[in-house]
Amino acid sequence: MNAKKKQTHQKDLVMLPLGGTGEIGMNCYCYGTGSGDDREWLMVDLGVKFGGDSEPGIDVVLPDVSFIAKNRKKLAGLVLTHGHEDHIGAVPWLWPQLKCPVYCTPFAAALLNNKLKEHGLDEDVKVHIIPLGGKFKVGSFDLEFVNVTHSIPEPCALLIKTSLGTVFHSGDWKIDRTPTFGAGIDEKRLIEIGNEGVDALVCDSTNVLREGFSPSESDVAATISDIVKHAKGRVAITTFASHVERVASAVRAARANGREVVLAGRAMRNTIEAARACGYLRDSGEFLDEESFGYLPVNKIMLLCTGSQGEPRAALTPCKRAFCPRFDQRRGARQCEEFRRPRHHPCGGALAWIRKHPPLHPRDRPQVPRASHRLPVEYHRQDGACHPARLKQRRYRQQILCDAAWRGLLRRER
């Protein structure tokens, strides 16, 4: 006769990653306290991942939240660390399965509200707006937003305190001691948290194997200003719509050199409206629509649009391929991009490619809170970076406070 498996009633602090570990995007992490089926859960971020070459015909990929959906009565809430698509993009699609309160900063709430309106959920989802550095309680979880720097306003790390232990969840971050606006990274608070004691550090590790240091946004702003100052023709600057700090740098450079700013792309317009509602970009003046681009002198215009990664549906793509009659890019126009482009491009010689801008995401050498356990997330798969042996070689410990049932999730080889 088979003996029944002995049930354990030991209380644990567990982590269940539903996305974002070993991949870029689709961030979704669940923290649980308690024992067995009686755990209370907290979800941190609920984002999408954009389809790649290996997923033809797929625009976005959503995390599988079926486990939490079945236990949604024990889901205390959803906390969003910032407003990037890979952290909030899946909320309007998956919230009907969760039906939990949402907690985030004002700018993330503004971006999320636009998405909820499109899905007819703006009156159904209860969004609690938490100020930067704010402390709040969700169920039995004592939480605190800690200011960091990233390529979007109001990025936060999350300190999670429970009766069973303390977790520091970094969110997306970089070190920038001279940002052009925003609160900046709260190094003092990070040191205090380290001194108080952290049981587990769950840390974003995108591009951690890349040598060097992250450039400051103030350095990028100076480069943009110099390019715009010496440009004789039209200037087109591409960036992520959510990179409001980069947008502000471009607008300042345009105004300083007597140029009008034309916005192209729905995402760019929506983000700027959200930023102004939260108190950003209010001194940037008026923006013109696409129809104005071809009617102003070539040395008095700047085009600000999305498409820095060559996205086929971004505003820049039809401009390059001359499919859009509103944009007349003639020889001598200059385009500033954040990421490198192929030399042979459909636009031919109509644009002068400027590659002085550094990538957005290389990480500085941080002073992060000391922790008993560390779990790097969002590793690139290139060169076997996800392999546990590589993590061990890099002196990272692929561990987190969790019971045996969840450890298998963290040991999965890619």
**DSSP symbols for 179-205:** -SSS----HHHHHHHHHH--SEEEEE-
In a shared domain, residues 294 and 167: no
4 belongs to a structural domain: no
pTM for the whole structure: 0.77
In a shared domain, residues 247 and 343: yes
**Strand arrangement, sheet containing 135-138:** 135-138, 141-147, 156-162, 165-169, 200-204, 373-377
* Collapsed DSSP state (helix, strand, coil) of residue 28: strand
Last residue of a domain, one of 354, 369, 402: 354
User: What is the token pair recorded at 137?
Assistant: 């309680």
* pLDDT for residue 294: 77
In a shared domain, residues 168 and 254: no
Number of neighbours of residue 46 by Cβ within 10 angstroms:
30
- Cβ neighbors of 242 (< 8 A, separation 6 or more) are 83, 84, 85, 111, 151, 152, 271
In a shared domain, residues 193 and 248: no
* pLDDT for residue 307: 61
- Rounded Cα gap, residues 32 and 16, in angstroms: 8
For 43-67, write each residue's pLDDT tens digit. Answer: 999 999 988 777 778 888 999 999 9
231 belongs to a structural domain: yes
Domain count, the chain: 2
1 belongs to a structural domain: no
Interhelix angle 106-118/266-277, nearest 10 degrees? 130
* Collapsed DSSP state (helix, strand, coil) of residue 303: strand
In a shared domain, residues 163 and 208: yes
In a shared domain, residues 392 and 291: no
Q: Following CA atoms 294, 298, 300, 305 in sequence, which dihedral angle do they give, to the nearest 10 degrees?
A: 60
- Rounded Cα gap, residues 358 and 336, in angstroms: 11
In a shared domain, residues 332 and 273: yes
**Pairing mode, strands 12-19 and 49-50:** unpaired
Residue type, 318: P
In a shared domain, residues 137 and 260: no
In a shared domain, residues 224 and 203: no
In a shared domain, residues 134 and 197: yes
Let me know: does 261 contact 288? Beta carbons within 8 Å: yes
For 245-301, write each residue's pLDDT tens digit. Answer: 999 999 999 999 999 999 988 889 999 999 999 999 988 899 998 888 778 898 999
Residue type, 102: V
Q: Does residue 263 come out as left (phi exceeding 0), alpha (psi in the -120 to 50 range) or beta? A: beta
Q: What are phi and psi of 191, to 5 degrees?
A: -65, -40
2 belongs to a structural domain: no
Tens digit of each residue's pLDDT, the chain (414 residues) = 444 444 555 789 999 999 888 888 899 999 999 987 889 999 999 999 988 777 778 888 999 999 999 999 999 999 999 999 999 999 999 999 999 999 999 999 999 999 999 999 999 999 999 999 999 999 999 999 999 999 999 999 999 999 999 999 999 998 898 898 888 899 999 999 999 999 999 988 887 788 888 889 999 999 999 999 999 888 988 888 899 999 999 999 999 999 999 998 888 999 999 999 999 998 889 999 888 877 889 899 998 888 644 455 544 544 544 334 444 545 445 545 443 333 333 322 222 233 333 333 333 334 445 566 666 665 444 443 333 333 333 333 333 333 333 333 333 333
Angle made by CA atoms 150, 151, 156, in degrees to the nearest 5: 35
- Number of helices and strands (H, E) in the chain? 11, 19
**CATH code of the domain containing 137:** 3.60.15.10
40 belongs to a structural domain: yes
Number of neighbours of residue 339 by Cβ within 10 angstroms:
13
* pLDDT for residue 305: 86
**CATH code of the domain containing 257:** 3.40.50.10710
* pLDDT for residue 202: 93
In a shared domain, residues 224 and 197: no
By residue range, what is the domain housing residue 259?
A: 217-354
- Cβ neighbors of 241 (< 8 A, separation 6 or more) are 265, 267, 268, 270, 271, 306
* pLDDT for residue 319: 53
